[in-house]
């Protein structure tokens, strides 16, 4: 038998989506949602929600591993989907589509698809159709890796590493989801008098930095990269001298389960119309003050950050 009408989206409906709904349901429960509310957000019955909440997530991790999705990535993606689903149905669909087409373009779904339908052994449609994103991700990974090398060679950069450490994120193409934003897993930390990246860059490595960058890109599409640095009175002076256009987030609490910095930035952007190239987060309960510097690419962001670090060290 030859199969001509067996798209990979069958695997989305049969395997990927149930596993992700399971993880999202667990996330929503951890954020205080009732079974009824979870049912409404996910668009499934309360009986299904009850089953999700009583089931071992290891089952869903195993299902997602068929698409080369690690447990770490599954947790990142499900957290992003949870945030999107809370906002509304359209946001949830948009986020899911971005993650799924990213998997299709990378070829991660192909082995499971070909295993199910042997006649598709030579099919490469999804890689050709969605693979452009894969190339853009590869370019962003190379760019962030080079930016990290610049940072690691700097003698002054360690002075501007905050307690929460540093990350640098770069959008791959017209990024709309964290899966299309490259960052450093585990961040860039201070080791004695130098900054060091714990791991090489990869797509989807920082949901937080992705949110900040994607929000800023809605206001200025030229922003492709962002880096966070220490913020204090000395950094404030350095930024003024550098002529940066600053947008300030007032103090907020980081005690809840949401990304309060991203939420605060969204509120400020809703009412702010002026240009900016940096965002100062004054922090608050559980949140260390940071500054986010935006640039047209990861290398530009790294060079600007190093320049600020030199001025900071000499101030």
- pLDDT score for 256: 56
Greater confidence (97 vs 295) lies with 295
For 56, other C-beta atoms within 10 Å of its C-beta total 9
C-alpha dihedral (59, 65, 67, 73), degrees to nearest 10? 100
Query: Which one, of 54, 203, 229, lies nearest residue 142 by Cα?
Result: 203
Give the pLDDT confidence of 195-247 residue by residue, as tens digits: 999 888 988 899 999 999 999 999 999 999 999 999 999 999 999 999 999 99
Once rounded to an integer, what is the mean pLDDT over residues 157-184? 94
CA of residue 67 relative to chain centroid, distance: 19
Which two three-digit tokens encode residue 4?
A: 């001509």
Average pLDDT over residues 293-305: 97
- Cα 314 to its chain centre, rounded Å, is 34
State residue 87's pLDDT score.
79
Pairing type for strands 278-281 and 246-249 reads: parallel
* pLDDT digit string, tens, across residues 189-201: 999 899 999 888 9
Lowest-pLDDT range of 47-51, 86-90, 302-306: 86-90
> For residue 2, is pLDDT > 70?
no
pLDDT in tens, 4-41: 678 899 999 999 999 999 999 999 999 999 999 999 99
Cα-based angle 241, 245, 251 (whole degrees, multiple of 5): 100
What mean pLDDT value characterizes the chain?
91
Mean pLDDT over 138-153 rounds to 93
Beta pairing, strands 278-281 & 290-295: antiparallel
Say if residue 262's pLDDT is above 60: yes
In this prediction, residues 297-309 reach a mean pLDDT of 97
Handedness of CA 79, 82, 86, 90 (dihedral sign): positive
> Which range has the worst mean pLDDT, 1-15, 177-191, 223-237, 265-279?
1-15
Domains in the chain (CATH in brackets) are: 9-120 (no CATH), 132-314 (3.40.225.10)
CB distance 195 to 155 below 8 Å = no
Residue 255's pLDDT band, with cuts at 50, 70 and 90, is low
Q: At 292, which helix (H) or strand (E)? A: strand 290-295
Check: pTM over 0.75? Answer yes or no: no
Check residue 131 and give its pLDDT. Answer: 73
Confidence of residue 1 (pLDDT cuts 50, 70, 90): very low
pLDDT digits (tens, 9 = 90+) for 52-96: 999 999 999 999 999 999 998 899 889 888 988 887 888 788 888
Note the pLDDT of residue 258: 61
Strand locations in 125-255 (E): 168-171, 181-183, 188-191, 194-197, 202-203, 225-230, 246-249
Give kind and range of the element (H or E) at residue 60.
helix 57-65
Q: What is the pLDDT of residues 86-116, one digit of tens each?
A: 878 887 888 888 889 888 988 899 999 999 8
What secondary structure letter does DSSP report for 14?
Answer: I
């Amino acid at each position: 038998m030859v199969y001509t009408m067996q798209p990979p989206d069958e695997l989305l409906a049969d395997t990927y989506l149930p596993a992700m709904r399971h993880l999202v349901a667990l996330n929503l429960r951890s954020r205080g949602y009732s079974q009824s509310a979870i049912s409404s957000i996910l668009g499934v019955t309360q009986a299904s929600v009850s089953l999700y909440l009583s089931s071992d997530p290891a089952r869903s991790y195993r299902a997602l591993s068929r698409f080369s999705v690690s447990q770490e990535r599954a947790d990142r993606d499900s957290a992003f989907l949870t945030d999107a689903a809370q906002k509304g149905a359209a946001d949830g669909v948009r986020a899911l589509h971005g993650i799924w087409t990213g998997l299709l373009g990378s070829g991660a779904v192909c082995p499971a698809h070909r295993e199910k339908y042997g006649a598709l052994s030579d099919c490469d449609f999804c890689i050709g159709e969605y693979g452009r994103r894969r190339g853009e991700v590869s370019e962003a990974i190379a760019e962030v890796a080079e930016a990290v090398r610049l940072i690691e060679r700097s003698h002054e950069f360690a002075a501007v590493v905050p307690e929460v450490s540093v990350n640098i994120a770069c959008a791959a193409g017209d990024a709309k989801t964290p899966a299309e934003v490259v960052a450093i897993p585990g961040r860039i930390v201070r080791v004695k008098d130098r900054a060091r990246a714990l791991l090489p860059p990869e797509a989807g490595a920082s949901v937080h930095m992705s949110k900040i960058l994607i929000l800023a890109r809605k206001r200025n599409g030229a922003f492709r990269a962002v880096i966070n640095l220490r913020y204090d009175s000395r950094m404030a002076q350095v930024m003024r001298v550098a002529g940066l256009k600053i947008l300030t987030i007032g103090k907020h609490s980081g005690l809840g389960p949401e990304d309060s910095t991203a939420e605060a930035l969204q509120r400020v952007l809703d009412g702010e119309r002026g240009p900016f190239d940096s965002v100062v987060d004054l922090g608050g309960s559980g949140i260390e003050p940071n500054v986010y510097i935006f640039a047209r690419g990861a290398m530009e962001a790294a060079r600007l950050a190093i320049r600020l670090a030199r001025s900071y060290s000499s101030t």
